[in-house]
Structure 1
Amino acid sequence: MSNLQLEGKVAVVTGGSRGLGREMVLGFAEAGADVMIVSRKLDSCEELAAQVRESTGRRAVAFACHMGDWAAQDGLVERAYEEFGRVDILVNNAGMSPLYSSLDEISEDLYDKVMAVNLKGPFRLTALVGKRMAEGDGGSIINISSIAAERPTPGDLPYAAAKSGLNILTKGFAQAYGPKVRVNAIMAGPFLTDISKAWDMDQVAERMQAYPLRRAGNPNEIVGAALYLAGDASSYTTGALLPVDGGRIAKA
């Protein structure tokens, strides 16, 4: 495939200023796409946008938005279409999985925030962008889910429930906006992003021995799957849940 397989495309990536989102932004830009980088922190988005422009020459726009805010998604979409006139690729990557001491101590506020960012926001944004894509030239929507949706643990239940819901949204939106819009999900395993700084790495290393690849992923290892789902190589793929998890799902 051409290194510029996304040339002429426009990609919007939420949670795009760091972690997996940052790597996908860079990967899309290097493949020829213009990008809109979305997160709560505008300065972080602007810093990455400047890097994209300098390193790839692509257009890059920074936009601050809280993905758990239903009404804010309208402004995000309007800005994207004002800046670029189209959106070809949407990546719902923003997410949160806060720690808690025990299930009975989870507050209603924490539970609602997890659901809002991981499920409510992607629903609203996909509905808005998917409708425009379906009425226009089509496009690809990629939801960043988690293996927790199928392999939950007591330490991530609200997050796992939200990501399970995101998997259902993936399949439902694929039906709603086909045939012009493809909607797929990447079920990510453990990646060494900023979040991993809070992990007990000795415990992680021990747990990774049960994974076929025996390790956590490096953030840039999400890019190949994202490029596949964003581009024409996946033209007959929709409603799919693609594990990128070092083989965790494959293990009973």
Structure 2
Amino acid sequence: MEFEGKVIVVTGGSRGMGRAMVEAFAARGASLVIASRKFEACEALASAVRAQHGVKALPVACNVSSWPDCDALVQAAYGEFGQVDVLINNAGLSPLYPSLDDVSEALFDKVIGVNLKGPFRLSSAIGTRMAAAGGGAIINISSIAAIRPGPHELPYAAAKAGLNAITEGMAQAFGPTVRVNAIQAGPFRTDISKAWDAETVATFEQSLALRRIGEPEEIVGAALYFASDAASFCTGAVLRLDGGRP
């Protein structure tokens, strides 16, 4: 119960890696704020962790690309619990597009909004409150695409590169009491992976040192580390968690 008395906010928390992190922190006694666009999915998971682990869990509908939605999430979290100890910016998306010249302004803005704009707003608002309260941790879920961009994910890669940048910048802004780190994830079996064809999966499996795609639960260890006192001297770090991508 190492996180008993702690409040963890997880965006994109109802599915995939977000769900895995919610369940892991709940199993360790944390209170959870589960945020995603679909309230019903958040409520279903909140009910499940309440029943299984006896913890408090607040579901919140939030489109993180919306500044007002981000502000409403902050108000809901502090209104319910009076504190936030860990913010995990996990929400993300990477829509497919046929070619670069077919990327619409709406698609570009949506990708930047979810993957960069939202984390910036939430980290700024919650990080400021954490610093005033004397401490906390922010964990950004980045992507290997930030440093290994491919032609079919450039808006996403650019957004995640920006997320790496604000990770380091906010570590400086909110230190010494608030730690800000990023997990730079490789290919994981999440909703994004449902769009991969067999050739893409085979390429990952052949190129990665571990010869397989990651499972959502495999992000948990890194998240627990960054959220805990074990990472007390770690801030501004970007950890590659990619199965050994060359």
Short-chain TM bin = over 0.9
Amino acid at match of 1:17: S
More off after superposition, 130-139 vs 187-196:
187-196
Identify the match of residue 23 of structure 1 among 17, 20, 34.
20
Alpha-carbon distance in structure 1 between the residues aligned to 2:202 and 2:212: 7
Q: Which residue of 2 aligns with 1:213?
A: 210
Q: Which residue of 2 aligns with 1:236?
A: 233
1:173 and 2:170 matched: yes
- Tell me the SS of whatever aligns to 2:95: coil
- Tell me the SS of whatever aligns to 1:237: coil
Q: Structure 2: give runs of 5+ residues left out of the alignment.
A: none
Q: Which residue of 2 aligns with 1:11?
A: 8
Displacement of 1:94 in angstroms is 0.6
Off by >6 Å, runs of 4+ in structure 1: none
2:204–2:213 contact (8 Å) kept in structure 1: no
1:212/1:71 Cα in 2 relative to 1: closer, same or farther (>3 Å)? same
- Tell me the SS of whatever aligns to 1:98: coil
Identify the match of residue 193 of structure 1 among 190, 193, 204.
190
Q: Structure 1: give runs of 5+ residues left out of the alignment.
A: none
Displacement of 1:133 in angstroms is 0.2
Q: Which residue of 2 aligns with 1:97?
A: 94
Q: Which residue of 1 aligns with 2:58?
A: 61
Displacement of 1:193 in angstroms is 1.4
1:245 and 2:221 matched: no
Structure 1 residues 188-223: Cα deviation after superposition (integer angstroms, max 9, x where no partner):
010111322222134312332111101000110000
Q: Which residue of 2 aligns with 1:71?
A: 68
Alpha-carbon distance in structure 2 between the residues aligned to 1:15 and 1:218: 16
Amino acid at match of 1:113: K
Q: Which residue of 1 aligns with 2:43?
A: 46
Q: TM-score normalized by structure 1?
A: 0.96
Displacement of 1:31 in angstroms is 1.4
Structure 1 residues 79-99: Cα deviation after superposition (integer angstroms, max 9, x where no partner):
101101100000000111000
Identify the match of residue 129 of structure 1 among 126, 129, 132.
126
Alpha-carbon distance in structure 2 between the residues aligned to 1:136 and 1:114: 32
Q: TM-score normalized by structure 2?
A: 0.98
- Tell me the SS of whatever aligns to 1:155: coil
Displacement of 1:23 in angstroms is 0.4
Alpha-carbon distance in structure 1 between the residues aligned to 2:79 and 2:72: 10
2:137–2:226 contact (8 Å) kept in structure 1: yes
Structure 1 residues 151-181: Cα deviation after superposition (integer angstroms, max 9, x where no partner):
0000000000000000000000000000110
2:187–2:204 contact (8 Å) kept in structure 1: no
Q: Which residue of 2 aligns with 1:161?
A: 158
2:143–2:160 contact (8 Å) kept in structure 1: yes
Alpha-carbon distance in structure 2 between the residues aligned to 1:203 and 1:139: 38
CA RMSD after TM alignment: 0.9
